[in-house]
A and B are shown apart, each in its own frame.
Chain A
Amino acid sequence: MAAYEKRRAAAAPAAGSGLGEPARAGAAARGLGTEAEFLLQAGVTAMVREALLKVLEARPEEPVSFLADYFEKLVLSSPGAGGEAAAEPPGLPQRLARALWYVRLAHHSHRTAFNNNMGMAYECLSASGRRKRPGVDGRLYSELLRRICRPGAAPEDVVAALLQKIQCRDHEAVPFDVFRYGVLTCFVLLEFAAKAGTLYDVLDGGSGPADKRVCQAVLHTLEDALGASDFSVPIRYLEAGSKLGPDCLALAMDRALQERELSVSMSREEFVKKATALFVAKVKPID
């Protein structure tokens, strides 16, 4: 009880002082110099700044949780954390886990942050101390892609089809732009699969499986829009967008509803699989 009273008493003056004015309240009396000096010397200031920049970059929904994970990674990766092992370069599993953490830090729509983290991940994968030539080989790259897709909403065989398209050979060196393209494609696939799942939820109206005809109509419209071939021309995006507009889609669904047969339905898995297959078909293969 007494110890905790002391703690509280000490908390009171510190509570009001922010980062801006940390030098206050009897720090000098302890003979440790001002609080600001202590924070600078201990590297706290730099650590806090770095962490806040990461938060700002990633804009996570739950910043507290993000910070807890962030600092935990910092502990694991900091020298001295593993005792003698710290002198050795981190092993392959650690490097993979760390790279995975980096690429997941920021959403890919947040381009600058995402690219930064991608660079960090690439560096982290290629930094193996023993070998003279740093670099990421095809084996490491494929393993990372597999791990990114693992817990996702995308069906396994669709993921396999995608990986087939964007894989490099095990012994090949993977340049950064290929690395970036592969990782980004995996993330987009995951999001696409999640969106397809939500779309199915809308189609089944929250009760039971959705009507097969309606599902097919939606899939056809999607295919039609994506089928507009060459996406390097900006106008194609507008075209695809207009094909997926509410009026076109509603017409197709309406037509499908009129000619539907009762009790023929499509399962959620089938719908997501078909939708994601459309996406994978559009992915440009490497080489």
Chain B
Amino acid sequence: MLSPERLSLPGPEYLAQRHVLTYMEDAVSQLLENREDISQYGTARFFTEYFKSVRQGTHILFREFSFVQATPHNRASFLRTFWRCFRTVGKNGDLLTAQEYHCLLQLLCPDFPMELTQKAARIVLMDDAMDCLMSFSDFLFAFQIQFCYSEFLESVAAIYQDLLAGKSPNTVIVPTSSSGQHRQRQPPNDCSPLDGVEASLFYQCLESLCDRSKYSCPPSALVKEMLSSAQRLTFYGFLMALAKHQGINRALGALPDKGDLFLDPAMDQELEKLVAQVSGLSISAPTSSSGDAANLPVRNLPRISSPWKPLHHRRKMDAESEGSNEETDSSEN
């Protein structure tokens, strides 16, 4: 219940560590924006509503990207909102491109940078065939890693490059500005398994990075466990493993386990009712609606016309999407 170290921190450090000033400053600037309304409701009420919405995680809706990414809590809230709003996409088993996922993200945050979406897509697609289709859950978990650990991954990319080049990774400079993630990550150009780096050496560097970093890092114990099973590994292999690791997902605490991603009895019931109503009316079977569907063979999988699918079907879709890289690769080439 009590973590005593926060009681002994100097005041400003405590405030910074918990991002109190970030929220207080934002609350005041929001208040200034809405000052006409304030005279009606009162300042205290405004602050109450503001901090309640921060507690609930609804405060990031439609806010500018600089604010959405400002604190770990904001990032987790955004991720959660994204999942909640668009999980029907996953439930239907729709596969989307990076560009399409980006459009969904922009519905929640209009200036969301494309670069971040692309980086998440690179994790799913292992930096290959970037216009491929991805399942919702694959994209979501990769996006989580990319978004929550942005700064950490920048440093990891630099360490990886240095190790590949045979340089001592201790010379790596940890990005300290919050704009670190806008920096161009040089994708390792060759990803064949022989060319990775040695896992134990890589882990040592990551461990010291986590010790030094002031940004969110995955728990070292979990990273160690992940890396101990491999001899050598590639950069994207590492990111993929991070994205698929349940323990890391739990440590971040924003999303449920992969198996529970689409469990929502209340919503299922609602949908079932709707479907029952709709199927009462006679509606022509949906044809492939959007124009781009024509040249994407995966889209032409038999689709059930209702927006609802039973669980066992979802499992199947997941299994399919695991192999989606290979499938679409072959169709591309």
Q: Which residue of A lies closest to B9 (CB)?
A: A59
CB pair A4 B62 closer than 8 Å: yes
Chain B residues in 8 Å Cβ range of A22: 28-29, 32
CB pair A8 B110 closer than 8 Å: yes
Min C-beta distance of A74 to chain B, whole Å: 4
CB pair B44 A61 closer than 8 Å: no
* Binary contact track B284-302/A, C-beta < 8 Å → 1, others 0: 0000000000000000000
B54 within 8 A of A: yes
CB pair B33 A10 closer than 8 Å: yes
B43 within 8 A of A: yes
CA distance in complex: A28, B6 (Å): 41
CA distance in complex: A42, B26 (Å): 17
Chain B residues in 8 Å Cβ range of A48: 24, 28
A110 within 8 A of B: yes
Q: Which residue of B lies closest to A12 (CB)?
A: B64
CB pair A63 B20 closer than 8 Å: yes
Contact among B2, B29, B30, B38 with A61 in the assembled complex (CB-CB below 8 Å): B2
A40 within 8 A of B: no
Min C-beta distance of B171 to chain A, whole Å: 33
Q: Which residue of A lies closest to B3 (CB)?
A: A61
CA distance in complex: A12, B42 (Å): 24
Q: Which residue of A lies closest to B66 (CB)?
A: A15
Pair count A-B, CB < 8 A: 113
Contact among A27, A39, A75 with B28 in the assembled complex (CB-CB below 8 Å): A39
Chain A residues in 8 Å Cβ range of B47: 47, 51, 67, 71, 74
Size category of the binding interface on chain A: 35 or more
Chain A residues in 8 Å Cβ range of B230: none
CB pair A59 B6 closer than 8 Å: yes
Min C-beta distance of B143 to chain A, whole Å: 23
Contact among B20, B26, B31, B55 with A68 in the assembled complex (CB-CB below 8 Å): B55
Main SS class of interface, A: helix
B149 within 8 A of A: no
Chain A residues in 8 Å Cβ range of B23: 64, 67
Size category of the binding interface on chain B: 35 or more
Min C-beta distance of A184 to chain B, whole Å: 17
Q: A52-B24, A61-B3, A63-B18 are in contact. Are A38 and B43 (CB under 8 A)?
A: no
CB pair B32 A14 closer than 8 Å: yes
Chain B residues in 8 Å Cβ range of A56: 11, 14-15
Q: A61-B3, A61-B6 are in contact. Are A67 and B51 (CB under 8 A)?
A: yes
Chain B residues in 8 Å Cβ range of A194: 1
B273 within 8 A of A: no
Min C-beta distance of B113 to chain A, whole Å: 15
CA distance in complex: A8, B110 (Å): 9
CB pair A8 B62 closer than 8 Å: yes
CA distance in complex: A17, B55 (Å): 23
B214 within 8 A of A: no
B45 within 8 A of A: yes
CA distance in complex: A65, B20 (Å): 11
CA distance in complex: A63, B14 (Å): 10
CA distance in complex: A122, B76 (Å): 41
CB pair A65 B6 closer than 8 Å: no
* Binary contact track B210-223/A, C-beta < 8 Å → 1, others 0: 00000000000000
Name 26 interchain pairs, CB-CB below 8 A, sorted by A. A14-B30, A15-B67, A17-B29, A18-B25, A19-B24, A19-B28, A22-B28, A22-B32, A32-B35, A39-B28, A39-B32, A42-B38, A42-B43, A43-B43, A44-B28, A44-B31, A47-B47, A55-B15, A59-B14, A62-B55, A71-B48, A71-B51, A72-B48, A72-B52, A107-B7, A109-B7
